[in-house]
Structure 1
Amino acid sequence: MKANGTEGNLALRRNVTQSSTYGLWFAEKAVDGNPGLVKSWSACSSTTNQTDPWWRLDLRDTYRVTRVIITNINECCAERINGAEIRIGNSLENNGNNNPICAVISSIPAGVSSTYICNNMDGQYVNLIIPGHLRILTLCEVEIYGEGPCLKQTFVKMKLKSSLSLSEAATRVQLLTQLESALAGRGISNVTLRWSQLPKQEVMWKEAAPGE
């Protein structure tokens, strides 16, 4: 896998979502560049009181994440962040909450920004989730740093049983389209498939049954 370059805060104004929203504490407020140290209600995100609350950011491409910085609320309830998991990966299974863990947040003092090293984890999605019942996830700012987008080339050798002729360009295009759709169904998107070489077709003969 190859990284194209290094950027600043990758999280800034990216597409984000969360499991629920308390009042005007929208998910986007955690990536607006305002740490929310004053008037948290206008600069922080928050879920409602629920089971396993989560927040997810979409980088749109796979990046190699080196570190994540979390800024905690500067008012009451700083302990709400305790136990939050930072997860990074390319899967949207369970809303992305099954991706590998970068770190578990033990605690962050009120109004403080803490850095978590992710050791070059590759992923398109960055999730924060607090496992447990009756929990609230409040984030005043999330910063993500790393390299990318990453380019990944994978070579696949396939054997196909089909009456269609792979010597026809339209058939080859149709097959790649079906493969891309199958990958998207497994949470793997933003991929481009192409033939590294034209497929070879073998003719299989079947003996006719008596009387045919």
Structure 2
Amino acid sequence: LIVFLYITLIDSQKSKSSKSSKSLKNSKNDTIKKEIPFIQKFYTKTLGEIKVDRKKGRLPPKGSILNCIVKCSALHGCHCVRINVETSECNTFVSTVDDPNSERNTSVLEKYVYYTNNGNREGNNVNLALGKKVTQSSTYNQFRAQKAIDNDKRTESKTSGGKEKRRSTLPWLQIDMKDDHVITGVMLLSSDEKSVHDFEIRVGNRQISKSEKGTHFKENPVCYAYEGSDFLQKAKPKVVKCEPCPLMGRYVTLQIVKNCTDCPNPGDNYLNLAELEIYGYIPK
């Protein structure tokens, strides 16, 4: 009888433990299910693929993604996270020093899943360049730099080219945002589409100097880069995004970084813009 009661007691405890464990697991799963809409509402997956392993299941697990995003949400100015697909290691990107886009090697990028903070979604379509200070490497006639961000597509900025003394072999245009902004993307428009070739858009806190003529500016992280002369179509705007992560900084720089090999005048680099718009938000 004593043995029977003992076995019954043990079975009862196991049953309670099993129910408690199952209840805890269900509670955790319910929490994750409730939090996934939070991820989708405030964060966007910009790069990387969720994998499914027969033994390990979903990689990285939803819980790991959620924990990483919650960690980012608690950090002032955190605008992007990446989670290692295999190890679930979480990296958050906060300051202007962080360069989440530096590892552009495909084999490296495939190891991670990237999520970006949407910031102020309504403000992401507002042109932040309006009213800001802008400079360019040189100026051709009356085509001042300010005309690139005056919200008037009929006016244009243009740097010197050809045999002009003031010309820069690697022309650039830089916008001073006055304060740190998280830059999500840039719109470019030109009536001379071949002038916007082989370029880089960089974001950071390092200001380019007019004395740096003919120098490839590499001080700030790269938001977007393009190689070739077929990026734009005449009089048609094109928007590019900072990927896999937005970048935070005060200065946004567009620079031609090498000679155009298939332009009408190869080696004659100049930058001609009808309009440049900047999208993003102020970090909270």
The TM tier, using the shorter chain, reads: 0.5 to 0.7
Unmatched 5+ residue regions in structure 2? 1-75, 79-118, 162-167, 259-266
Deviations 1:70-106 (A, max 9, x none): 1121xxx421111121111111266693211111244
CA RMSD of aligned residues (A): 2.2
* Alignment-mate amino acid for residue 130 of structure 1: I
The structure whose residues are more often helix, as a share, is: 2
Equivalent residue number for residue 221 of structure 2: 100
Equivalent residue number for residue 32 of structure 1: 150
Contact 1:13 1:28 in 2 (8 A): no
Contact 1:53 1:130 in 2 (8 A): yes
Contact 2:132 2:177 in 1 (8 A): yes
Q: Post-superposition shift, 1:134? A: 3.2
Contact 1:52 1:135 in 2 (8 A): yes
* Alignment-mate amino acid for residue 182 of structure 2: R
Q: Which of these residues, 36, 43, 46, is aligned with residue 158 of structure 2? A: 46
Deviations 1:169-205 (A, max 9, x none): xxxxxxxxxxxxxxxxxxxxxxxxxxxxxxxxxxxxx
Contact 2:223 2:246 in 1 (8 A): no
Distance 1:22 1:122 in 2: 31
* Alignment-mate amino acid for residue 92 of structure 1: Q
Q: Post-superposition shift, 1:17? A: 0.3
Identical residues among aligned pairs (%): 32
Equivalent residue number for residue 203 of structure 1: none
Question: What is the aligned length?
Answer: 141
* Alignment-mate amino acid for residue 47 of structure 1: T
Distance 2:275 2:208 in 1: 25
Q: Post-superposition shift, 1:13? A: 2.2
Contact 2:201 2:252 in 1 (8 A): yes
Residue pairs, 1:15-30, within 5 angstroms? 15-30=133-148
Equivalent residue number for residue 236 of structure 2: 112
Unmatched 5+ residue regions in structure 1? 37-42, 152-212
* Alignment-mate amino acid for residue 141 of structure 2: G
* CA shift in 2, pair 1:72/1:61, >3 Å: same
Distance 1:93 1:22 in 2: 19
Q: Which protein shows a greater Rg? A: 2
Alignment of 1:144 with 2:278, yes or no, is yes
Q: Post-superposition shift, 1:2? A: 2.9
Contact 1:78 1:110 in 2 (8 A): yes
Helix, strand or coil at the partner of 1:82: coil
Distance 2:208 2:238 in 1: 28
Equivalent residue number for residue 19 of structure 2: none
* Alignment-mate amino acid for residue 64 of structure 1: V
Q: Which of these residues, 83, 89, 92, is aligned with residue 204 of structure 2? A: 89
* Alignment-mate amino acid for residue 44 of structure 1: E
Q: Which has the higher contact order (CA 8 A, sep 6+)?
A: 1
Q: TM-score, normalised by structure 2?
A: 0.46
Equivalent residue number for residue 164 of structure 1: none
Q: TM-score, normalised by structure 1?
A: 0.61
Q: Which of these residues, 255, 264, 269, is aligned with residue 135 of structure 1? A: 269
Equivalent residue number for residue 194 of structure 2: 79
Q: Post-superposition shift, 1:35? A: 1.7
Distance 2:225 2:209 in 1: 18
